[in-house]
Structures are given as C-alpha cells and as structure tokens.
Amino acid sequence: MGARRSPWLHPAAKPLLFIVCLLPLAWLVWGAYADKLGANPAEHLIRSLGDWTLRGLCLTLAITPLRVLSGQPALARFRRMLGLFSFFYGCLHLLAYGWLDMGLDFGDIAEDIAKRPFILMGFTAWALMLPLAATSFNRAIKALGARRWQTLHKFIYLLVLVGLAHFIWMRAGKNNFGEPAIYGAILALLLGWRLWQRMRRPQPAPGRA
C-alpha cells in the first residue's frame, strides 16, 4: 500500500483557505451594511482591518514551525497566500484610515504620519510589506535569485516587530496593553523558535568552508 497522501495536498485546500481568508472582510462589510459596527463604525473598521493584518502575519510566521513540528511539509504551500492576504488587509487598513479618518486629504495624511509616532510605525510596517508582496511570485524569485530573495524576505521579522510597535503605541493612548501583550507573546514564541532552531544547527568545523 502506498504512503497516505497529506490532506494539505488536496486540490480543494487552497481554494478553501482563500475563502476562509475572505471571511473577516465579508463579516466587516456585512456589519457596515447592517449597522452592526458599534457607535463608531469607522474606528471599528480601521482597527479590525489592522487586527487582521497582524493576525495574518502571525499565521504566516506560524507555517514553518507547524510544518516542522507536525512533519507536514505540504503546509508550506499556504505560506504565500497567507502573506499576500496579510498585505491585502494591510492595504485595506491603510485605505480605511486615509479615507474614513482623513478624508483622503494627502496633505493631512502626510502631516499625521510626521506628527503621530504610532501612525508613522503603521505606515513603515506597510512600506516594509510592499517589497515582500511585490516579490512573492515565482518570476521575482527567478529574477532575484534564491539567496537574495531569501535575504529580502527576512525583512518579515522586522515588519512584524514594527507592526507590533504600531499596535502597542496605538493602545498606549488608552492604557490598554492586554491584547498587544498576547500578540507580543505569540510573536516572541514564533521568533524564539526560529532562533532556537538556528542555534541547534551544527557549526562547520574549523578550517572548512
């Protein structure tokens, strides 16, 4: 009897993940239409889109440890989609802020970025996502070369830290650090696992290339 095929290789797995990733947006659109977003719908929409951006980044980073610990290499095929959906929600988060909060007045937006540190952190995180999203396709990998592509995509570690700083700074105004602490713990675990894996790798013997 042949080896059992991984369920993650099922042809329906990727389309199903695509639909699941769209559910938060569908829920927010329905909530806006049905007036279910609370007393301040614009703020709820902006913050929810930001939350889903950070959640998507956490899920993207979780793929590698889950793949290794579960012995399911097929999980890696979902990493690109999760990363691109994180960028998608990050773009919607930025658009909602610029449109609903600032009325698409680019002068005011630029002034707000310069004046408020947590807005600057958020914009910086989005700017760091741009090159990662733009080079997430096979043609970009081929053009850059595998080594340079891998080096570029290590910026995701800086990106998640800047995104977390944006979230913490935003919540600091209301002295509400409970949720940021949870995200901080998750990211510390994900990044700490990678550091531990790197430290466990055998070092080359002296004198060897």
Residue type, 205: A
Find, among 99, 92, 97, 160, the residue nearest to 124 by Cα: 160
Per-residue pLDDT at 4: 60
CA pair distance 84, 72, nearest whole angstrom = 22
CA pair distance 47, 180, nearest whole angstrom = 13
The residue with tokens 């889903």 is 52
Per-residue pLDDT at 138: 86
Q: Does position 206 have pLDDT exceeding 70, yes or no?
A: no
Mean pLDDT for the stretch of residues 34-38: 90
Categorize the per-residue pLDDT at 1 as very low, low, confident or very high, splitting at 50, 70 and 90.
very low
CA pair distance 58, 126, nearest whole angstrom = 15
Continuous segment of H or E residues that includes residue 60: helix 41-70
- Segments making up each domain of the chain, as ranges: 38-199
Per-residue pLDDT at 201: 73
Residue scoring higher pLDDT (206 or 73):
73
Full-model pTM: 0.89
Residue 134 CA neighbour count, 13 Å, CB half: 9
Mean pLDDT for the stretch of residues 77-84: 94
Find, among 160, 193, 163, 158, the residue nearest to 67 by Cα: 193
Report pLDDT digits (tens) over 47-59.
999 999 999 999 9
